[in-house]
Amino acid sequence: MPVLMRPSPSSPSALRRGLVGVLSGVLAVAGLTAGTGSANAGTTAAPQTAVKAAAALAVQVNQLGYLPDGPKRATVVTTATAPTAWELRSAAGATVASGVTTARGGDAASGDSTHLADFSSYTGTGNGYTLVVDGARSHPFDIRAGLYNTLRSDAMSFFYQQRSGIAIDASLAGGAAYARPAGHLGVAPNKGDTSVPCQAGVCDYSRDVRGGWYDAGDHGKYVVNGGLSTWLLVNSFERADRAGTDAALGDSTLRVPERGNGVPDVLDEARWELDFLMRMQVPEGKPLAGTAFHKIHDANWTGLPTRPEQDDQQRELHRPSTAATLNLAATAAQCARVYAPYDAAFAARCLDSARRAWTAARANPNLIAPDSDGNGGGAYGDATVSDEFYWAGAELYATTGEAAYRDAVTASPWHTSSGAFTSFGFGWADTAALGRIVLATVPTGLPAAETTRLRASVTAAADAHLAAMSGQGYAVPLPSTAYVWGSNGQVANNGIVLAVAYGLTGQQRYRAGSIESLDYLLGRNTLGQSYISGYGEQPSRNQHHRFWANQYDASLPNPPAGSIAGGPNAALQDPVAQEELAGCKPAACYIDDIGSYSTNEVAVNWNAPLAWLTQFAAETTGGDGGDPPAAGCTVTYGIDSAWNNGFTATVTVKNTSTAPVDGWTLTWTYAGGQRVTNAWNATVTQSGAAVTAKDVGWNKAIAPGGSVSFGFQAGFTGSNPRPTAFTLNSAACG
């Protein structure tokens, strides 16, 4: 990820964006020969290996699909100047809708000549649709309610699987291939993280900084990136709580070891990082007490592949920074507000940490993290921290209501600057927008007129993103100049701004724009590439990572489903990209190769907005449209993935009666000795061969013609036959 230079709040029109610093994988090129090399490349899909050639005709769609009541648009690459006929075809080949395209002309980011095919008026549901234009056929896709439920769960599972300091359980991670021992708990050959010294000259003591998330494809842990990512996860819950849909993120909805403890699972996951962030705070009685160490990582880059428990490098704490300290202040203040109903003692600890961090940052405003500190881990340099002061002050004021924090917020130039939101989007180095979002959405003591102005700034930013989307061939909420390191994360971040605007206004154009942002990430782009592993016909498979490194070592897995790749980066900041992508158009500067860390790494700050956005999209249950069948229910039972002794499955229940279902219990029997081990979006129990799945509150209602989906993981020995019959509330389903 590059450092993105921010505009000055006093001159927001002077947008300055640079690609400086060397971050989480740059020097890892030294490790590219450390694995088994290209001899194992044939064990998975071959990486894309050339600059994209101009397509004569292509139909690019969201390869996962579309919501029944959401936008349904595709991009057609064609040199035709006149409107062209399109047909939407069912899996059986029947034409279910038709129309003509709208010519859009040249798309600056891709160089493609494009048309738009809009089939939003079609509200039927089903699997395996294709869009056909002038003989060219799209990848197949679904139209159904519950479309994003599994992706929401998988995007969150990424964080569990990135945890440091805990053994990763196969039953929670999706199979034995993803299980691993705990990393960095002081067990040889690890040299951390239970007693980590500082770099020479930084401090004369060691700290226990176990836990947290590995940041990206390396083993580093960074307060600024972890802070932003934690904030997004907790904010996703706080937003859902305001909308009355927080049960979807409640206890026992995700695959985390803490499930069943009475705390929403998304907050359990965020707490794993929050505990680490507070361990990074300099203790009382030490120089710079209350500040936060900027990061902890290996003294030198490890090679690829290296599992966490095999890392033999010395771990080091790096000098505290004001930016890290304010990230801690902001996330800990948010924690104090959101966790209070579930764990008052933890919330109080968070608030104490936040106050101490704020005081320490005010006393030490010029502890700047340098761009040069990039050996063994990313630099995360940030020379401007006025935006972090604004964000942290906003969170502390929203939580406490205290005048000192209010005054700090209203005195900040970011409070009135039009540059708080930019076309590139917020990020770990650009946090003023987060302060705006807090003040626009959380009730505070600010005057009503002030709150109205802040909310208007959010909707104005959302309108700018919609305008950018409408002027492009692929409807991306980014300008053509914004294809930088982590561009996919920026797409998702701007999608969040659109969703926040929808929450403030209820205006459907913002909801539609937010959901349409996911189309780009799931395949409606110039490469026809789903950047999310496990989703779509052409998903990313070889993201840069030291454990999910199947391209280098066939005994290791590919990244788990729900992991998003960084995305196109026109600067080509790694040797693989430079060799394979020279001359690429900005939106095509991507290659699915483990060596391309500047286009194909994973990172917590990219998966966090993906999780936020898919949670928002999943809240819409939709409807099938048309007249529902006369009576009954139907059940679709699909196995998503399977391995030698286990599998994951998704079950979709459709209400085909004319009456709504208010609370549901689905039962079936296994004939092969299968045993359900955990589930999401339903409470699943098993007695012998009989399995019972019950709603989890937020999804208890199934409208006539509507559907609900849930998933589970199970083990088996021998065969794995599918159930032959289901009952819904004691009535047989078809």
Q: Is there a domain that residue 625 lies in?
A: no
Give the pLDDT confidence score for residue 672 in this predicted structure: 86
Q: Which residue has the higher pLDDT, 470 or 6?
A: 470
Same domain assignment for residues 138 and 156: no
Residue 3 lies in a domain: no
Measure the CA–CA gap between 114 and 99, rounded to whole angstroms.
16
668 and 528 in a common domain: no
Per the structure, the complete domain to which residue 408 belongs is given by: 26-41+148-473+483-618
Helix (H, G, I), strand (E, B) or coil at 646: strand
**Residue the block writes with tokens 């709040």:** 9
323 and 455, same structural domain? Answer: yes
* One domain, residues 134 and 236: no
CA distance 37 to 231: 38
Which two structure tokens, joined as six digits, stand for 155? 């995007």
Q: Stretch 123-129: mean pLDDT, rounded?
A: 96
pLDDT band at residue 36 using 50, 70 and 90 as cut-offs: very low
Q: What is the CATH number of the domain that holds 576?
A: 1.50.10.10
pLDDT bin (cut points 50, 70, 90) of residue 56 is low
**Given 107, 193, 215, 218, the catalytic residue:** 218
Angle of helix 487-505 relative to helix 432-441, nearest 10 degrees, comes to 20
10-24, 113-127, 171-185, 253-267: segment of lowest average pLDDT: 10-24
The DSSP bridge pattern shows strands 113-118 and 95-100 to be unpaired
- Given a cut of 70, is residue 611 above it in pLDDT? yes
pLDDT of the residue at 551: 97
Query: For 680-702, what is the mean pLDDT?
Result: 87
Shared domain for 403 and 385, answered yes or no, is: yes
> Exposed, middle or buried by CB within 10 Å (0-12, 13-18, 19+), for 35?
buried
Calculate mean pLDDT across residues 285-290: 98
d(CA 500, CA 516): 15
Does residue 89 sit in the same domain as residue 199?
no
pLDDT of residue 4: 38
Give the residue, 298 or 248, on which the prediction is more confident: 298
Spatial distance between the Cα atoms of 330 and 228, rounded to a whole number of angstroms? 9
Model pTM score: 0.83
Give mean pLDDT, residues 640-659.
Answer: 85
pLDDT at 455 over 90: yes
Mean pLDDT across the stretch 289-309? 97
Confidence of residue 113 (pLDDT cuts 50, 70, 90): very high
Rg (CA), the chain: 25
Question: At 216, is the secondary structure helix, strand, or coil?
Answer: coil
Residue at 423 is within a domain: yes
Ordered DSSP codes for 569-629? -TT--SHHHHHH-TT--GGG-----TT-HHHHB--HHHHHHHHHHHHHHHT------SPPP
Q: Sorting pLDDT into bands at 50, 70 and 90, what band is 620?
A: low
- pLDDT tens for 351-380 read 999 999 999 999 999 999 999 999 999 999
Best CA proximity match to 571, nearest among 472, 481, 476, 474: 481
pLDDT value, residue 696: 83
Residue 82 has pLDDT above 60, yes or no: yes
Mean predicted confidence (pLDDT) in 693-722: 87
Instruction: Give the mean model confidence (pLDDT) for residues 635-660.
Output: 86
**Is there a contact between 313 and 190 (Cβ–Cβ < 8 Å)?**
no
Average pLDDT over residues 77-101: 97
| Residues 6 or more apart in contact with residue 396 via CB below 8 angstroms | 329, 330, 333, 354, 355, 358, 402, 405
**Among 115, 184, 297, 544, the one annotated catalytic:** 544
Instruction: For the chain, give the percent of residues with pLDDT over 70.
Output: 91
Read off the pLDDT of each residue in 688-704 and give the average, rounded to a whole number: 86
Sign of CA dihedral 331, 336, 342, 346: positive
What confidence score (pLDDT) does residue 3 get?
A: 35
pLDDT per position as a tens digit, 570-599? 999 999 999 999 999 999 999 999 999 999
**Domain count of the chain?**
3
Q: To the nearest whole number, what is the mean pLDDT of the chain?
A: 90
Domain boundary among 119, 143, 167: 143
403-437 per-position pLDDT tens digit? 999 999 999 999 999 999 999 999 999 999 999 99
Q: Which of 143, 175, 201 is the last residue in one of the domains?
A: 143
**Cα(177)–Cα(358) distance, rounded to whole angstroms?**
43
Residue 214 sits in the same domain as residue 350: yes
Structure tokens at 129: 């649709």
Say which of 107, 251, 430, 601 is annotated catalytic: 601
Per-residue pLDDT for 625 more than 60? Answer: no
- pLDDT (mean) for 640-666: 86
pLDDT at 656: 87
Phi, psi at residue 637, to the nearest 5°? -115, 110
Does the annotation mark 112 as catalytic?
A: no
Euclidean distance between CA atoms 651 and 669, whole angstroms: 14
Rounded Cα–Cα distance for residues 544 and 558 (Å): 10
97 plus 191 within the same structural domain: no
CA distances from 129 to 27, 377, 649 (A): 44, 45, 21
Whether residue 211 lies inside any domain: the answer is yes
- Range 472-488 average pLDDT: 97
pLDDT confidence band for 34 (50 / 70 / 90): very low
Length of the chain: 734
- Both 709 and 660 in one domain: the answer is yes
Shared-domain flag, residues 66 and 207: no
Closest of 368, 157, 346, 324 to residue 228, by C-alpha? 324
Q: How many whole angstroms separate alpha carbon 228 and alpha carbon 245?
A: 23
Does 624 fall in a domain?
Answer: no
For the question of residue 544 being annotated catalytic, the response is yes
- Name the burial class of residue 118, with classes exposed (0-12), middle (13-18) and buried (19+) by CB atoms within 10 angstroms of its CB: middle
Residue 36 within a domain? yes
CB-based burial, 584-604: b 16+ in 10 Å, e otherwise: bbbbbbbbbbbbbbbbbbbbb
Q: Where do runs of H (alpha helix) occur along 244-290? A: 265-279
Instruction: Give the model's pLDDT for residue 88.
Output: 98
Cβ pair 156, 113 in contact under 8 A? no
Tokens of 444: 């505070």
- Parallel, antiparallel, or unpaired for β 65-66 and 102-106? unpaired
95/73 same-domain check: yes
User: Tokens at residue 110, please?
Assistant: 């891709």
In CATH, what number is assigned to the domain containing residue 671? 2.60.40.290
**pLDDT on residue 619:** 87
Question: For residues 329 and 396, what is the distance between their CA atoms, to the nearest angstrom?
Answer: 8
Least confident window among 203-212, 380-389, 660-669: 660-669
Given this model, what pLDDT does residue 644 score?
81
Helix (H), strand (E) at residue 343: none
Q: Which of 143, 171, 195 is the last residue of a domain?
A: 143
Q: Which CATH number is 116's domain given?
A: 2.60.40.10
Query: What's the CA gap between 606 and 229, in Å, rounded?
Result: 8
Amino acid at position 521, single letter: L
Same domain, 36 and 131: no
Give the integer Cα–Cα distance in Å for 78 and 84. Answer: 9
- 472: three-class secondary structure by DSSP: coil
- Tens of pLDDT, residue by residue over 205-228, are 999 999 999 999 999 999 999 999
Of residues 697 and 188, more confidence is placed in 188
Query: CA-to-CA distance for 439 and 398, rounded, in angstroms?
Result: 7
Asked whether residue 439 carries a pLDDT value surpassing 70, the answer given is yes
Residue 478 has pLDDT above 80, yes or no: yes
Q: In the annotation, is 592 catalytic?
A: yes
pLDDT at 102 over 80: yes
pLDDT band per the 50, 70, 90 thresholds, residue 260: very high
d(CA 397, CA 439): 9
pLDDT at 38 exceeding the cut of 90: no
In a domain, 497, yes or no: yes
Please, which residues bridge with residue 292 across strands? 281, 321
Contact between 86 and 617 under an 8 Å Cβ cutoff? The reply is no
Among 251, 316, 592, 619, which one carries the catalytic annotation? 592
